[in-house]
Amino acid sequence: MTNNKTVSERRRGLFWLLSDERGAAAVLVAIALPVLFAFGALAINSGFWYTMKRQNQSAADAAALSGAYEVMAATANATAAATEAATQNGWVNTGTAPAVNVSYSNPPLVPSGVEVILHQDQGSLFAYVPAASATIATRAVALVKTLDNPCMILLNPTASKELNIQGSASLSMPGCSIYADSTATDSIYAQGANNSILTADTIITAGQVSTTGQPRLTLTNPAQIGAPRLADPYAATLTHSFLTSGMPSSCPAPTIVGSVYTYTGPCKFAGGLAIDHRTVNLTPGTYWVTDGDLALGANGVLECTACVPGGAGVTIILTTAQTSGGTVGNVTMQGNPTIDSLNAPGSGTYTGLLLIQDSNNLPTGTTYTTGGSTFKGTLGQTLDGLVYFPKNAMTFQGNPTTGANSCLLVVADTLTLAGNSSMASSGCPTSGPGAPPTVKTVALAE
C-alpha cells in the first residue's frame, strides 16, 4: 500500500497532535493526587494527634493528682499511683522514646508537689505516609497545700451519718474544718429548717454530704468530697503507756465545803467517778478515771476554779488500771449537769489534753463500757483542749463550746449534734500532744 501523504501533510498531523489539549486535566490530577492525599493524611493525623494530646492532658492531670495524694499520705507509691491513674485515663505506654514515660519529682519546678510528664509515640494512620509520626508529650503539676487545722475528726470508715446534725442544732467553727472518714453517701448529714446551721472553713470527707429540709451550710472553702481517709493523727502519741505514766494508786482525800468537793491531782478515781447533786472542783493537775465511767448526774457540777485558759489546767484520762481484761469508761450525763470552765494545761507532759479516752495499745482483753459518751447540760458550758474519743460514739445534747482560749478539738468515732456548739483551733498550743494536726489538700498548679 502506497503512503500518498506528503511531507507537509505529515507535519500538519504532528502539529495537530501536539496542540491537542484533550485529557490534560486527567493527567494533572493523576500527578497531583498523591500529593493531595499526603496533605490530607497529614491533616487527619494532626487532628488525631491533637485529640490524643487533649486526652493525655486529662491523664496527666489525673496522674499528678494521684501522685500528690500519695506524697500527702507520706507513702513511697507516687510513681506507681501516677502511672496507674494515667493508664486508667486513656494514656498508652508505648515505651519507646523516652524510656521513662512517667517522671515524678518532689519538688518539681514548683515546691511541694508532683510533676508528671507523659510521652506517647503515635505513628501515622496511613501506611503510605510512614514518615508522618510524632511523640505526644503532656505535663501536669499538682501541689500539696496546707488547708487548715481541723477542729473535728471523725474516724469511722463506713458509718452512715458519721456527723449527724439534728433538728435545730448549730455547729459554728468558721476558722477550722471537719474531717469525716466515712465513705457513706450521707457521711455528713444535716436535717431541719434554716435554723439548723453548720458553719466551717470546709468539710472534707471520704463520702458525701446529705441534707433533709433546708439546713444552712456556710463554708469558707468548697467541700472536698471523696477525699482520702485521714489516719488518726494522735494514735502514735496517745498510747496506753504514755497516758498511764505516773498514774498514782489512789486519790488524796478531798477538801469538802458544803456540797463542794475539791480534789488535788495527781489523782486516780478507781472504778469510775460519779458526780450527783454535788460539785467536784479539780485543782490544776492530772486525773485518771479507771475501769468505770465519768458520770455526771442531776445537778452535778464538774469544774476547775483555779484553771487559767492557756495556762494551768486539768487533764482527765479514762483508762484501765488492769494489766488484762480491764474496762475503759465513757462520759455520761443525766438530768441537768454542768461542766463549768474546764481547760487543758498550756504546758507540761499533757499539754492541750483535756478529756482523753485511752484507745491505743491497750492491755489484752480491754473493753469499753457501752452506750457511747454524751455531753449535755445548760448553756455556757465551756471546754478548752482536746476531747479525744476515737473508738466512741459521741453525742452533744447540750451546748459545749470553746472557752476564752478558743481551743476545742473533738476526735470521735461518730458525733451526733443536738445542741448549739462551737469549736476553734486558734488558741490551741502549737506543739505538744494536744496540738491540732494540719490538714493538707491537693490542687493542680499547671
Q: What is the pLDDT of residue 88?
A: 86
Q: Which of 57-61, 295-299, 391-395, 397-401 has the weakest average pLDDT?
A: 397-401
CA distance 223 to 308: 36
**Structure confidence at residue 55 (pLDDT):** 72
How far apart are the C-alpha atoms of 209 and 226, rounded to whole Å? 10
Q: How far apart are CA 344 and CA 346, in angstroms?
A: 6
- Is 15 a residue whose pLDDT tops 60? no
The answer to whether 327 touches 369, Cβ cutoff 8 Å, is yes
CB 180 within 8 A of CB 226: no
Q: Is the pTM of this model over 0.85?
A: no
CA 282 – CA 227 distance, rounded (Å): 41
Q: How far apart are CA 294 and CA 302, in angstroms?
A: 10
- Using an 8 Å Cβ cutoff, are 116 and 100 in contact? no
Bridge partner list, 355? 316, 387
182-191, 279-288, 296-305, 329-338: range with lowest mean pLDDT: 329-338
Question: Ramachandran region of residue 9, left (φ > 0), alpha (ψ -120 to 50) or beta?
Answer: alpha
The predicted pLDDT at position 398 comes to 67
pLDDT at 377 over 90: no
Sequence-distant (6+) residues with CB within 8 A of 24 are: none
Residue 252 has what pLDDT? Answer: 92
Residue with the larger pLDDT of the pair 178 and 3: 178
CB 148 within 8 A of CB 201: yes
The confidence score (pLDDT) of residue 310 equals: 87
Neighbours of 173 (CB within 10 A): 23
Write out the three cell numbers for 237. Answer: 502519741
CA distances from 263 to 21, 49, 272 (A): 120, 78, 15
pLDDT at 340: 77
Which range (21-30, 273-282, 372-381) has the least confidence?
21-30
Over residues 316-355, the pLDDT tens digits come to 999 999 999 999 999 998 877 888 788 999 999 999 999 9
Predicted confidence at residue 169, as pLDDT, reads 83
Q: How far apart are CA 296 and CA 397, in angstroms?
A: 14
Which residues have a Cβ under 8 Å from the Cβ of 375 and sit 6 or more positions away? 331, 333, 339, 381, 394, 395, 396, 397, 398, 400
Amino acid symbol at 248 = P
What local confidence, expressed as pLDDT, does residue 99 receive?
Answer: 33
Q: What is the DSSP letter of 424?
A: B
Q: Which helix (H) or strand (E) holds 68?
A: helix 24-72
* Cell numbers that stand for 307 in this block: 484553771
Does residue 216 sit in helix, strand or coil? strand
User: How far from 281 is each of 7, 248, 316, 338, CA to CA, in Å?
Assistant: 139, 19, 13, 12
Q: Which pLDDT tens digit goes with each residue over 107-162?
A: 555 556 788 888 776 655 444 445 455 677 788 888 887 777 899 999 999 999 99
Residue that the C-alpha cell 503512503 belongs to: 3
Q: Sorting pLDDT into bands at 50, 70 and 90, what band is 87? A: confident
What residue ranges do the domains of the chain occupy?
A: 24-144, 232-444
Residue 187, all three cell numbers: 457521711
- How far from each other are the two terminal CA atoms of the chain, in whole angstroms? 89
- Mean pLDDT of the chain, nearest integer: 81
- 327 phi, psi to nearest 5 deg: -130, 135
Q: What is the per-residue pLDDT for 1?
A: 46
Query: What is the full DSSP assignment across 372-402?
Result: -EEE--STT-EEEEEEEEEEEEEEE-S--EE
Of the two residues 44 and 58, the one the predictor is more confident about is 58
| pLDDT at 95 exceeding the cut of 50 | yes
